[in-house]
């Protein structure tokens, strides 16, 4: 005869299953569509933030390159810098 005094514990997030006979546990996980939806949610959540960051970095780098180019042009070839006033430049 089975003892009626049954006791069990499960860790946080665990599931305790108790039965008098066979127990079958199946864990099918996420379906393809569910995994796809999760991946797209993560992408959407990060894309706009990362796009904004990349945009800021691109603008800063473009300004840096332009300033460096114009400063160097003025130092090394002032006559060429003055040609910028000509519409045909």
User: Residues 57, 50: contact at Cβ < 8 Å?
Assistant: no
What is the reported pTM?
0.43
Residue 82: give the domain boundaries: 54-89
Task: Express each pLDDT in 71-89 by its tens digit.
Answer: 888 888 888 777 778 887 7
Domain count, the chain: 1
Q: What is the DSSP string of 49-64?
A: HHHHHHHHHHHHHHHH
Q: According to DSSP H, which parts of 1-89 are helical?
A: 32-76, 78-82
Q: Is residue 24 part of a domain?
A: no
Task: For residue range 11-56, list pLDDT tens digits in order.
Answer: 888 888 877 778 887 777 888 999 999 999 999 988 888 888 899 9
For 35, half-sphere exposure in the C-beta direction (CA atoms, 13 angstrom radius) is 5
Residue 36 within any structural domain of the chain = no
């Amino acid at each position: 005869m089975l003892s009626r005094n049954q006791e069990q514990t499960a860790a946080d997030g665990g599931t305790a299953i108790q039965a008098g006979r066979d127990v079958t546990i199946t864990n099918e996980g996420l379906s393809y569509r569910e995994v796809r939806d999760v991946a797209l949610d993560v992408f959407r959540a990060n894309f706009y933030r990362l796009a904004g960051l990349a945009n800021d970095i691109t603008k800063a780098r473009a300004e840096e390159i332009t300033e460096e180019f114009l400063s160097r042009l003025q130092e090394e070839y002032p006559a060429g810098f003055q040609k910028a006033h000509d519409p045909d430049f």
